[in-house]
Amino acid sequence: MSEPLLRATNLVKEFPVMGTGGLLRPPTRFRAVDDVSFEIRSGETLALVGESGSGKSTTARLAARLLDVTSGTVELDGEDVTGLGRSALNRFRSDVQVVFQDPFSSLNPRHTVERIVTSPLVYQQRTVPGGARAFTRALMERVGLDPDHSQKYPAQFSGGQAQRIGIARALAVGPRVVVCDEAVSALDVSVQAQVINLLRDLQREEDLTYLFIAHDLAVVRQIATRVAVMTQGRIVEEGERDAVFGAPRHEYTRKLLDAVPRIRPEWERRRRANAGRPTGAPA
Ligand SMILES: Nc1ncnc2c1ncn2[C@@H]1O[C@H](COP(=O)(O)OP(=O)(O)OP(=O)(O)O)[C@@H](O)[C@H]1O
């Protein structure tokens, strides 16, 4: 079996919590991520699921090196990237990009699509292949946007279209891993499905690996190959999507699944029907 592309080992993240005891009292620390480990192989989609506050986004930010770890390591393709300095981190950012939940707050409202999409390359002092206009047009086509709108501003697009701009920006540097942090959660269900289809197409065509953060299991089942379930800062269960959905081992996973009544019986049926066959995407 191939080596993991992204590996997180014993990640811990603590945040200071200011008490009411005044300056003489040292701040206590809240452990948002508590000894989290996972591996993602090239081409896989690992979904991190769990209720609000379970530590999913913090884990995603640690893995993308947007936050410094308290302890633990992040490795990309076998290289420890936990303590990278600024220029090495720039290289890491070419390999690992993030798509955030709210496209309108993660896209600069005063910048055109062209400026937004080319900004990661400019920031990295890389030349924009073929010039900014042609590069942006090609990327817009790639994510299903009208390339004639490259001089428009985020507010002139719908939520789903704005998220496609966020995806285009992530693709601009040619990443190998994309961290999708609740990337479809703010969208209407029908738009969600379209963006998930886009992410799946891009994964196949661009050979992408996803760390996909979501609290919505109906979304996760459409895209995940493996699922890790988080609660209170820890991963309590991890496995192939069909195994986790069809035969959850941990009480917390069962509770999560029971909150979406349709999913579990459907997966149990599918698992029985497919017994002995390799797992595949749901029909
Ligand atoms: N910068 C921070 N300072 C202090 N506490 C934080 C910080 N960021 C996150 N937390 C806390 O860490 C815990 C985990 O938050 P996190 O956002 O990772 O959870 P989540 O599972 O992604 O939840 P949600 O889906 O609501 O974002 C929460 O209790 C949150 O309040």
What's the pTM value of the predicted model, to 2 decimals?
A: 0.89
Q: Whose CA is nearest to atom 6 of ligand 1?
A: 15
* 117 within domain boundaries: no
Give the separation between CA 228 and CA 226, rounded to whole angstroms: 7
Q: Nearest to residue 226, comparing CAs of 57, 49, 34?
A: 49
* Residue 239 to residues 19, 21, 86, Cα–Cα distance (Å): 39, 44, 35
pLDDT tens by residue, 124-161: 888 888 899 999 999 999 999 999 999 999 999 999 99
Tokens coding 73: 């390591």
Q: Whose CA is nearest to atom 16 of ligand 1?
A: 55
How many domains is the chain built from? 1
Give the separation between CA 146 and CA 161, rounded to whole angstroms: 10
SS3 29: strand
Q: Nearest to residue 190, comparing CAs of 160, 167, 224, 216?
A: 160
HEC per residue, 132-144: HHHHHHHHHHHCC
* 206 within domain boundaries: yes
Sheet of 209-213: strand order equals: 96-99, 177-181, 209-213, 45-49, 226-231, 234-240
Give the separation between CA 16 and CA 39, rounded to whole angstroms: 28
For ligand 1, whether the C-beta of 54 sits within 6 Å is yes
Q: What is the pLDDT along the chain (283 residues), one digit of tens a residue?
A: 678 999 999 999 999 987 666 666 777 899 999 999 999 999 999 999 998 999 999 999 999 999 999 999 999 999 999 988 888 898 899 999 999 998 888 899 999 999 999 998 888 888 888 899 999 999 999 999 999 999 999 999 999 999 999 999 999 999 999 999 999 988 988 899 999 999 999 999 999 999 999 988 889 999 999 999 999 999 999 999 999 999 999 999 999 888 876 666 666 666 667 665 544 433 3
Q: Which residues pair with 211 in a beta bridge?
A: 46, 179
Measure 219 CA to ligand 1 centroid, in angstroms: 21
For ligand 1, whether the C-beta of 53 sits within 6 Å is yes
* 113 within domain boundaries: no
Measure 2 CA to ligand 1 centroid, in angstroms: 33
* 47 within domain boundaries: yes
ipTM over 0.85: yes
* 182 within domain boundaries: yes
Q: Which residues pair with 7 in a beta bridge?
A: 39, 75
* 166 within domain boundaries: no
CATH, residue 249: 3.40.50.300
* 197 within domain boundaries: yes
Which among 48, 54, 69, 236 is the best mutation to test ligand 1's pocket, defined by most ligand atoms within 8 Å of the CB? 54
Q: Whose CA is nearest to atom 26 of ligand 1?
A: 52
Tokens coding 179: 């961290």
* 151 within domain boundaries: no
For ligand 1, whether the C-beta of 62 sits within 6 Å is no
Domain range enclosing 266: 6-102+176-273
Measure 187 CA to ligand 1 centroid, in angstroms: 21
For ligand 1, whether the C-beta of 61 sits within 6 Å is no
Relative to beta strand 6-17, strand 28-40 is antiparallel
